[in-house]
């Protein structure tokens, strides 16, 4: 090692040049690093959807969902299969293991879709595969405005002009168009005319489909040329549509489509609507980012393309982006930047105060940018984004530890040996500390290894954090050994040697008498230490727990649920009341409400369900409340007073998607009840809702898909139909025409417009009118529909959820004013006592707390193994089991400070806090090793155990204080920041700061006395 260090000293300019070149390459690489607010925890998932307007929920489940599920079963790598069936729509979620290739997974699903088509008996349906986007892929929302255009016009322009151009942008997977209505060329049939001309509805269906086609006749030779033969019978406009020939009339005259009803441009059956700011309906598009793309780059490309797209729009049509995920990302990354900058400044300040030499302090602090750039380059090439968790956990106090030891030891040698070659002195002093510094950094890295074993959601969130810290520590170690000695030999010769700084002198004068008192009063010292530890254990048992603290996104989502039978018109009236109430608050910037299901049904909702996105102003402008939690309470009270007949559930845009990915619902807790009978499932769900509502802290409790919706069933009487010579298909055609039969599309100005054949709503808007519709007989004439079918109104389920090909009812709930862990524990006890599960039915609790439990179970196994390995290393390094045990005494005392700090700040235990304890243990072990190692060196000089212990404590006072202060102050910005995203880092920083206080006190006050008694026999 000395030869290498001497070589570096003799080639200092080369070392500095290589370092600068590497940093320039690193900075260039970092500019391509993806930046996000939080890690994307989305599973490997492929969405399969089918839209079947008019089919009842149970028919959708039996005829569409079940055949698709059966076809998807057995795909390699599949780990879960969920589905949602609603009236007119089926969505199946196929989830794969995280280590599979999503493109290969989609290929498998595409192959199985072909098999599913053969098993679905409902004709004319299209099975669609969802876009290649994750659950957190919604990065921008854009509204389209028009001065004279109707909502149907705006929907067409958005779908066929704006969306195709957006999809050409790299990184954009698809654009989900919501609001307005899909335009169609419609014929509203007059049943009297049909009956007069002896036509069936099916005759009209066939006429429309057969009169909108082309054919190719290859080519013919004409002299020396070839001429392409093409037959064209396409519909070009509404006049062509009305001029479709249906059949010859009674007198040989032509009978056209326009003779059978009203021709118009009319909307297709709507599945939902979008409103904004209580100003009526709008049309918007939600941009979905491709899996693996960089959101920052994609958003920048969209912003660059929007001006060009706007130029292609008709006069008076404009685009307005009103939600950009980059805003949240920018705020959270700004928080990380501020914390890192302030943390680095505090570390430099502490170094100045403790070391007292600004040149030495800058040399030590120079490791910070180097380690940070190395960490960012490393995570870039590991496919990890820069986010609140990956970069937020870097503590510059730990990063500078190795450089601090190198420089501090060099300064101490220089103070003793002021003559001689300074470069040789640097090489000698560095060689003395290479081994202990490397060992200390290795120990800290090993403490982080258990985090790398986390799997699932918790692994996706916290593994990047550990990887970032480990890379930064490795870079800091390499820099401290290879570059810091070179910088030291260049810079420190200009500094004058000196002893302790004023700050250390003041502390040392108070430390001396205090440590002597501790030696004279061991019973009081050990008793009080044990008492505080036991008190912290008591506090820890009452902490409560949550997976991670909620990130305050600056936007809210409130899900409004009305009676399942509510119509779209009724729902929109209720939504307007909610929007008007929310817009009355000065904190609200804009409100956008999505009612029902969107074009790409990523989350199918009924007409009675609405997601209202509440975009807030900057917190500095808030007047009604000082925190987001208080704001939610006030908003919730206001909307419930205005709309008492609805249920409301509050969340945030990103949090809602995360909860949905965790458990299939938008709340923190999901209780899944599995069974076969829908009635029994609903009864059990209602009982659990009643139990949960009585538990303090319960909020937004509801059974998903409970209640019933009226279905108007037309059940064909086969015998009556046969007796009256009525074909079953003619009856089904009548039923389909009530909602509209969708035929081949028409191409108009680069837009595909569907054709639609439907009955005039005036003759089919009630049960009685439908029962009196006339159906054509095969031999001529007509009969009433009620003569060949039973037309009845019956209640049915609005939604059927399935998981692993088994029905389930989901009870959802949020927790407010209480920690999640204690609420779940109380809820499980109450439900277990009060709700009896019949044979064949089972209950599973899901949500964020399950991830907390999963992570803690794994860490409870892996952390002890890691600590045992560290203990073994300590035994080897210190050559004593007793000394290793002395170092390990630091861990429970360090945990004591962390627990007390959490309690004082009112924070529950979370995985973020758990990571804090892990980081704390590394620093605590490091400080213990520093003191014990130096004590053993003093023993070798012939001193007794007591003399060696207190001499070591006195002389190692400055490095121990320096290590503890830089580590704790480096976390101060995270602990006390109030910016966006700070709540996620706060538990981690709080634990480290509190733990370092207790750990440092133990190292300096208790450990010398413990050493004296442990090692007295060896005196």
The mean pLDDT value for 995-1003 works out to: 84
| Residue 484: predicted pLDDT | 87
664, 673 Cβ separation under 8 angstroms? no
Q: According to the 3-state scheme, what is the secondary structure of 150-211?
A: CHHHHHHHHHHHHHHHHCCCCCEEEEEEEECCCEEEEEEECHHHHHHCCCCHHHHHHHHHHC
Name the band, by pLDDT with cuts 50, 70 and 90, for residue 1019: very low
> Which of 495-504, 833-842, 1001-1010: highest mean pLDDT?
833-842
622-641 exposure pattern, b = at least 16 Cβ within 10 A, e = fewer: beebeebeebbbebbebbee
Domain 200-259+710-796 has CATH 3.30.2090.10: yes
Name the band, by pLDDT with cuts 50, 70 and 90, for residue 287: very high
Quote the pTM value. 0.83
| Residue 1016: predicted pLDDT | 64
DSSP 277: T
List, in sequence order, every residue forming a beta bridge with 221; answer none if it has no partner.
226
Tokens of 238: 């509404």
Q: Tell me the per-residue pLDDT of 202-245, one tens digit each, with 9 for 90 and over.
A: 999 999 988 988 898 888 988 889 999 999 888 989 999 999 99
**Which CATH superfamily includes the segment(s) 1-32+356-496?**
Multidrug efflux transporter AcrB transmembrane domain (1.20.1640.10)
Q: Are strands 127-129 and 44-51 parallel, antiparallel or unpaired?
A: antiparallel
Burial of 17 (0-12, 13-18, 19+ CB in 10 A): exposed
| Residue 320: predicted pLDDT | 94
Residue identified by tokens 């969505």 is 91
pLDDT, mean over the chain: 87
Q: Tell me the per-residue pLDDT of 582-640, one tens digit each, with 9 for 90 and over.
A: 999 999 999 999 999 888 888 888 899 999 999 998 888 898 988 888 899 999 999 99
Q: Tell me the per-residue pLDDT of 877-887, one tens digit each, with 9 for 90 and over.
A: 777 888 888 88
CATH number of 40-131: 3.30.70.1430
Q: Is the pLDDT of residue 1017 over 60?
A: no
Sign of CA dihedral 979, 981, 983, 988: negative
Contacts (Cβ under 8 Å, ≥6 apart) of 490: 12
Angular region, 16: left φ>0, alpha ψ -120 to 50, beta rest: alpha
- Rounded to whole angstroms, the Cα distance separating 438 from 873 reads 12
- Rounded to whole angstroms, the Cα distance separating 354 from 504 reads 6
The CATH class that applies to domain 500-542+880-1018 reads mainly alpha
| Residue 912: predicted pLDDT | 83
Q: Is the pLDDT of residue 91 over 50?
A: yes
Q: Is the pLDDT of residue 975 over 70?
A: yes
Count of helices and strands (H, E) across the chain:
39, 31
Contacts (Cβ under 8 Å, ≥6 apart) of 865: 450
The mean pLDDT value for 336-345 works out to: 82
The mean pLDDT value for 146-153 works out to: 92
End-to-end CA distance of the chain: 35
What are the φ/ψ torsions at residue 775 (nearest 5 degrees)? -110, 135
Tokens of 862: 């892996």
Q: According to the 3-state scheme, what is the secondary structure of 381-441?
A: HCCCCECCCCCCCCCHHHHCHHHHHHHHHHHHHHHHCCCCCHHHHHHHHHHHHHHHHHHHH
Tokens of 48: 């399969």
Give the domain ranges of the chain: 1-32+356-496, 40-131, 200-259+710-796, 500-542+880-1018
Domain 500-542+880-1018 in the same topology as domain 1-32+356-496: yes
| Residue 385: predicted pLDDT | 85
626, 358 Cβ separation under 8 angstroms? no
- Rounded to whole angstroms, the Cα distance separating 669 from 695 reads 14
| Residue 1018: predicted pLDDT | 54
């Amino acid at each position: 090692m000395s030869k290498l260090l001497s070589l570096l000293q003799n080639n200092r300019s080369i070392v500095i040049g290589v370092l600068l070149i590497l940093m320039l390459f690193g900075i260039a690489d970092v500019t391509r690093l993806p930046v996000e607010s939080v890690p994307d925890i989305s599973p490997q998932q492929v969405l399969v959807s089918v839209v079947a307007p008019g089919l009842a929920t149970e028919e959708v489940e039996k005829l569409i969902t079940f055949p698709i599920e059966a076809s998807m079963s057995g795909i390699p790598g599949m780990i879960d299969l969920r589905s949602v069936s609603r009236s007119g729509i089926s969505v199946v979620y196929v989830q794969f293991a995280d280590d599979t290739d999503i493109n290969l997974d989609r290929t498998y699903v595409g192959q199985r879709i072909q098999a599913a088509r053969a098993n679905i008996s409902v004709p004319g349906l299209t099975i669609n595969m969802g876009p290649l986007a994750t659950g957190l892929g919604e990065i921008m929302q854009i509204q389209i405005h028009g001065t004279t255009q109707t909502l149907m016009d705006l929907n067409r322009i958005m779908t066929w002009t704006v969306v195709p151009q957006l999809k050409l942008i790299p990184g954009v997977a698809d654009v989900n168009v919501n609001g307005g209505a899909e335009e169609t060329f419609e014929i509203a049939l007059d049943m009297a005319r049909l009956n007069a001309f002896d036509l069936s509805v099916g005759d009209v269906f066939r006429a429309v489909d057969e009169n909108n086609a082309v054919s190719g006749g290859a080519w013919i030779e004409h002299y020396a040329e070839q001429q392409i033969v093409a037959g064209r019978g396409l519909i070009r406009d509404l006049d062509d549509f009305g001029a479709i020939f249906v059949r010859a009339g009674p007198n040989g005259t032509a009978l056209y489509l326009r003779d059978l009803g009203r021709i118009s441009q009319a909307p297709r059956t709507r599945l939902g609507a979008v409103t904004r700011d209580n100003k009526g309906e709008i049309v918007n598009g939600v941009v979905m980012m491709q899996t693996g793309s960089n959101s920052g780059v994609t958003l920048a490309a969209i912003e660059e393309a929007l001006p060009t797209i706007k130029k292609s729009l008709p006069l008076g049509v404009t685009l307005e982006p009103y939600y950009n995920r980059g805003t949240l990302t920018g705020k959270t990354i700004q928080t990380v930047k501020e914390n890192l900058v302030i943390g680095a400044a505090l570390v430099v300040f502490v170094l100045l105060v403790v070391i007292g030499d600004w040149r030495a302090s800058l040399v030590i602090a120079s490791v910070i940018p180097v380690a940070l750039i190395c960490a960012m380059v490393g995570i870039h090439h590991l496919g990890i984004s820069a986010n609140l968790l990956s970069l937020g956990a870097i503590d510059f106090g730990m990063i500078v530890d190795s450089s601090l030891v190198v420089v501090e030891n060099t300064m101490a040698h220089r103070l003793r040996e002021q003559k001689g070659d300074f470069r040789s002195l640097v090489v000698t002093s560095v060689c003395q500390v290479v081994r202990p510094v490397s060992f200390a950094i290795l120990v800290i890295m090993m403490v982080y290894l258990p985090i790398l074993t986390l799997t699932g959601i918790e692994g996706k969130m916290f593994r990047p954090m550990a990887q970032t810290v480990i890379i930064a520590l490795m870079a800091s170690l390499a820099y401290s050994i290879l570059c810091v000695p070179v910088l030291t030999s260049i810079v420190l010769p200009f500094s004058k040697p000196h002893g302790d700084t004023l700050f250390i002198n003041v502390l040392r004068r108070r430390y001396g008498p205090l440590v002597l008192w501790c030696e004279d009063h061991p019973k009081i010292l050990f008793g009080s230490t044990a008492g505080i530890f036991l008190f912290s254990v008591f506090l820890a048992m009452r902490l409560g727990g949550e997976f991670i603290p909620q990130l305050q996104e600056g936007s809210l989502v409130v899900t409004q649920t009305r009676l399942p039978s509510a119509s779209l018109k009724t729902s929109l009236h209720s939504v307007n009341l909610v929007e008007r109430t929310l817009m009355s608050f000065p904190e609200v910037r804009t409100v956008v409400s999505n009612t029902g299901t969107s074009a790409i049904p990523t989350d199918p909702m009924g007409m009675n369900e609405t997601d209202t996105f509440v975009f807030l102003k900057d917190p500095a402008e808030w007047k009604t409340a000082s925190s987001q939690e208080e704001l939610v309470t006030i908003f919730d009270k206001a909307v419930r007073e205005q709309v008492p007949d609805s249920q409301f559930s509050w969340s945030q845009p990103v949090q809602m998607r995360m909860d949905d990915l965790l458990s299939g619902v938008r709340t923190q807790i999901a209780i899944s009840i599995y069974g076969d009978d829908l009635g029994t499932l609903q009864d059990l769900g209602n009982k659990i809702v009643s139990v949960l509502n009585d538990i303090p802290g319960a909020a937004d409790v509801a059974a998903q898909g409970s209640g019933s919706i009226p279905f108007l069933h037309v059940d064909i009487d086969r015998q009556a139909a046969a007796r009256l010579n009525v074909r079953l298909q003619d009856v089904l055609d009548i039923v389909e025409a009530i909602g509209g039969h969708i035929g081949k599309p028409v191409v108009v100005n680069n837009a595909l417009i569907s054709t639609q054949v439907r009955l005039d709503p005036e003759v089919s808007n009630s049960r009685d009118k439908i029962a009196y519709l006339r159906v054509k007989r095969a031999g001529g004439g007509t009969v009433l529909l009620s003569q060949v079918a039973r037309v009845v109104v019956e209640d049915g389920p609005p939604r059927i959820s399935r998981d692993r090909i088994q029905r389930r009812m989901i009870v959802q709930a949020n927790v407010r004013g209480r920690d999640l862990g204690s609420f779940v524990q109380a809820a499980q006890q109450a439900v277990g006592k009060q709700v009896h599960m019949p044979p064949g039915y089972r209950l599973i609790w899901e949500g964020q707390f399950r991830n907390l439990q999963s992570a803690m179970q794994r860490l409870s196994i892996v952390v002890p193994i890691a600590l045992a390995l560290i203990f073994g290393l300590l035994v080897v390094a210190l050559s004593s089991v007793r000394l290793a045990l002395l170092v390990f005494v630091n861990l429970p005392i360090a945990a004591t400070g962390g627990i007390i700090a959490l309690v004082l700040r009112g924070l529950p235990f979370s995985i973020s806090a758990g990571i804090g304890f892990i980081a704390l243990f590394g620093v605590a072990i490091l400080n213990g090793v520093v003191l014990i190692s130096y004590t053993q060196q003093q023993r070798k000089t012939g001193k007794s155990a007591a003399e060696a212990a207190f001499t070591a404590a006195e002389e190692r006072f400055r490095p121990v204080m320096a290590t503890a202060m830089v580590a704790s102050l480096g976390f101060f910005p995270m602990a006390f920041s109030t910016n966006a995203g700070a709540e996620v880092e706060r538990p981690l920083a709080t634990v480290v700061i509190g733990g370092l206080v207790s750990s440092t006190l133990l190292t300096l006050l208790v450990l010398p006395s413990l050493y004296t008694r442990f090692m007295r026999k060896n005196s």
